[in-house]
Structure formats: C-alpha cells, structure tokens
Amino acid sequence: MATLSSLTLRNPCTWMGQVVGGGDGLGRTNPNPNPMNHRSSGLTIEANKRAKKIRHVILKEDITGVGNIGDQVKVRAGFYRNYLLPFGKADLISASVLKEMEMEKQRIEAEKMRVKEEAEQLAILLQAVGPFKVRRKASQGKLSGSVTSKDLADIIKAQVNREIAASNVVIPEITELGDYIAEIQLHEDVSARVRLTVAQS
C-alpha cells in the first residue's frame, strides 16, 4: 500500500485529487503554464467595458468639434445619452438609419439642384428681357436724383413678376443719363449681368 510520503514524492503537485498551481484537474500539471493568462483576461474585460462606453452615431446636424451633418462618428455614451439623443442631434447607426440618411441627403441635393436651375433660367430671362429702363429728371444729362438697387429690383418685379432682393443687386455709380450694366446675384453660383438704361423723365 502506498504511503502518504510515497504519494507526495511521486507527484508533489497533487494532494487528495486537487491541483496546486497549474494543471488540468486530473492530477497532471500543465507543461507550459502561462502566468499571463489571468492578466490578459483582465485586459480583455477592461477593453470590453471601455467599448461599451462608446457609441457609433450619425450626426443629424453640424456640431462644432464633433462633425458635420451625415458624418459617422464615435462619441462617449454619456455625451450621446445626455446631449445628442435628447436634442435630436444624432442617431445610433443602424441599417434603417443609414438608409434614411441617404434618402435625406439625396432629397437635399435634388432641392439644391432645382434651386440652381431656377436661378440659371431666371438669369437667361433677365438678360433677354433687358434693358430695364429707369426714368429720372436730369439737367444737361446730369441726374438730379439717384438710381438705387431697389429701383432696379422694383422694375424687374413689374416687368417679369420675379422677386429679387435689393441686397442682391449691384449697380455702378450713376450720375448721368445713359446705359449701364448691373449685376444680380441669383444664387451662390449664378449671377446675371443685365442692361440698365437711365432715361430722361
């Protein structure tokens, strides 16, 4: 019969079926123990915790220091929960959200294109209809009154029934009767050069 001392000598890593240190639970020691396993597991858990504190979102408007509308960004969970979500500034990324954002982007682009095309058509019309005529009192060709951007905007409204802000009309300095060229900004990318005639009233 084996004695306690002989059991201990044969396998110093086992005692009553329990593993001391490394082993496989069957009384056999691990030939390649890795003391880093516990540390690696801890790092993985910590990384997972940090990942849960990050949210991947799509911005619904421009936000200084974060991004512009349509941008996909990563933000802290608290920032999303306390600011972006309640104020409707961002959505968590999902297939449905991506589709909705793409459709909205296409709608905005189509609207921008429509507005630009209308401005281009108006520019063609204004250049074809001119010259626009303004009448003023004058003495020996010199005007006794001024001609303003609002004067031209009002004449355009009367002749072609199109509203144009006076702030978008640029006319040269007019001090006498004659023909002039005015520039009208109809769109950020579209302007029209129209003829303006100042005649004797």
Phi first, then psi: what are they for 100, rounded to 5°? -65, -40
Report the pLDDT value the prediction gives residue 198, as an integer from 0 to 100.
94
> What pLDDT is stored for residue 39 in this prediction?
54
Q: Is residue 51 part of a domain?
A: no
- Assign residue 141 the CATH number of its domain: 3.10.430.100
Contact between 135 and 158 under an 8 Å Cβ cutoff? The reply is: no
Count of other CB atoms within 10 angstroms of residue 29: 16
pLDDT value at residue 23: 45
Q: Which domain holds residue 153?
A: 115-200
- Residue 76: inside a domain: no
- Per-residue pLDDT in tens (0 to 9) along the chain, 201 residues: 444 444 444 444 433 333 333 444 444 445 555 555 555 555 555 545 555 689 999 899 999 999 998 899 999 999 999 999 999 999 999 888 788 878 988 999 999 999 999 999 999 999 999 899 999 998 888 888 889 999 999 999 999 999 999 999 999 999 999 999 999 999 999 999 999 999 998
- Residue 87 belongs to a domain: no
Domain-embedded: residue 139: yes
pLDDT value, residue 22:
43
Domains of the chain: total: 1
Residue 30: inside a domain, yes or no?
no
Tell me the two tokens of residue 79: 């920032």
Is residue 80 included in any domain, yes or no? no
Q: pLDDT at position 95, please?
A: 83
Residue 189 in any domain: the answer is yes
Closest CA to 160 of 190, 188, 135, 184: 184
Query: Is 37 among the domain residues?
Result: no
